[in-house]
Structure 1
Amino acid sequence: MAETIYIVDPLPDERRRIVDALANEPVHVEWYDDAAEFLDQVAATASGCVLVPLDLPGIGLRALMDEINRRHLPLAVIVIGRDSELAIAVELVRFGAFDFLEHPFTDRRLRSVIRRAIGAVSE
C-alpha cells in the first residue's frame, strides 16, 4: 500500500509543483487549503508525512503540530520555508518537525526528504 503525502498549503501553484514532483513516486497525495480542513478530514489511522509552509495561515504551524502530536498520528512533518527562516526551522525541528525544506528546492531534494520521512514513520 502506498504511503500518503499530505500537502497543507493555501497556494495552488505550490501544491501543484509538489504533486508534479511526486508523479512517479509510489505514494498517494492528498492536499488541503489549510490546517483546519486537514485536521477535520484526516483519519485517526493516517500515516505518512505532511508538507506544510512555515507561514501557514489560519491556526498556524505550531497548532497543527500540537494537534498531530495530541492525536498520536504517525505523521512526519516537513516544513517548507526560506533560508532566512533557519533559526525558526531549528526550533521547529526541536518541537517535533521531521525536517525543514529550504526554498528553492529541487524535485530530487523533495523526494529524498519525503522518502526519509516515510522511512522514519514506518519504523
Structure 2
Amino acid sequence: MSELPAAPDQIVHIVDDDEALRDSLVWMLEANGYHVVAYESAESFLAACDPDMTGCIVLDVRMPGMSGLELFEELGRRRCGLPVVFITGHGDVPMAVSALKKGAVDFIEKPFGERDMLRLVEQCLQLERDSRGKRRLEADTSRRLQHLTQREREVLELIIVGKLNKQIADVLGISIKTVEVHRARVMEKMGVNSLAELVQHVVSVDSLAPR
C-alpha cells in the first residue's frame, strides 16, 4: 500500500487510449489509496477540464486525434497547472524529453513497475499540494496587506529592506516609540510572530520585495 495517499480532494487523472493499460492503472492506483478518473482521449479530458481541478495527470504521449503533447501544450495555454507525468514507448522518449523542458514533471517508459509509477504520482501530488499552499499564502498575504494603513505600509517597506527601528524613525520623521507601535500592529495584522516570517510572507507576493 502507498505510504502517502493523496489528499481527499486530489485526483489522479489518467489520459490514455489503451483501455487495458488504463484499467490496469486505475486498479493499481485505487488499490493504493488514490482517487482516480480515467479518460480515453485528450479530447475527453479537455471536455471535462475545470480550472478548479486538483491532483495530477498521467498522460500518454502518443494517442489518436490530439496527442498527449498537444494536450499538454493546450493545458499550458489554458493555464492549467496540474503536474503531468508522461507515459511513453521507447521511440517516444525524445518527445517526452521535449515535454520536460516545457514543464512536465517526468516521464516513465512502458513497461513500467508499480513502485516507479507510484513514486512519480506521489511526487506530482506533493508538487500540486505545495503549489496550492503557496497560492493560498499569497492570497492571504495580499488580503492582509490591504488592511494596513499608509503609515503601517511605509514602516513595513522599511522593515523589509532591513532598516532598524531608529533608522525607520529617522526616515519617517517619527519617534522610535511610534515606530514600535506601528511595527507591532503590522505584525498583528499580517498574522506573523517573527521578522523572518513577515519577510517570507511579504516577499512571496512580491509587492514590497526589495529590488
TM-score where L is the length of structure 2: 0.55
Comparing both chains, which one has the higher relative contact order based on Cα–Cα distances under 8 Å and sequence gaps of 6 or more?
Answer: 1
Check if 1:111 corresponds to 2:138.
no
Cα distance in 2 between the residues matched to 1:60 and 1:87: 15
Cα distance in 2 between the residues matched to 1:82 and 1:12: 16
1:59 maps to 66
Larger Rg: 2
| Structure 2 gap ranges (5+) | 1-7, 131-211
| Structure 1 residue runs of 4 or more that deviate by more than 6 Å after TM superposition | none
Q: Which has the higher strand share?
A: 1
Cα distance in 2 between the residues matched to 1:68 and 1:25: 27
1:98 maps to 105
Residue 53 of structure 1: how far off its partner (Å)? 1.2
The alignment yields a C-alpha RMSD, in angstroms, of 1.5
Is residue 30–residue 36 contact of structure 2 (8 Å, CA) maintained in 1? no
Is residue 46–residue 74 contact of structure 1 (8 Å, CA) maintained in 2? no
Check if 1:74 corresponds to 2:85.
no
Check if 1:85 corresponds to 2:92.
yes
Q: Which has the higher helix share?
A: 2
One-letter amino acid of the counterpart of residue 57, structure 1:
P
Number of paired residues?
A: 123
One-letter amino acid of the counterpart of residue 119, structure 1:
Q
One-letter amino acid of the counterpart of residue 121, structure 2:
I
TM-score where L is the length of structure 1: 0.90
| Structure 1 gap ranges (5+) | none
Counterpart of 2:52 (choices 11, 34, 45) is: 45
Cα distance in 1 between the residues matched to 2:126 and 2:57: 14
Amino-acid identity (%): 27
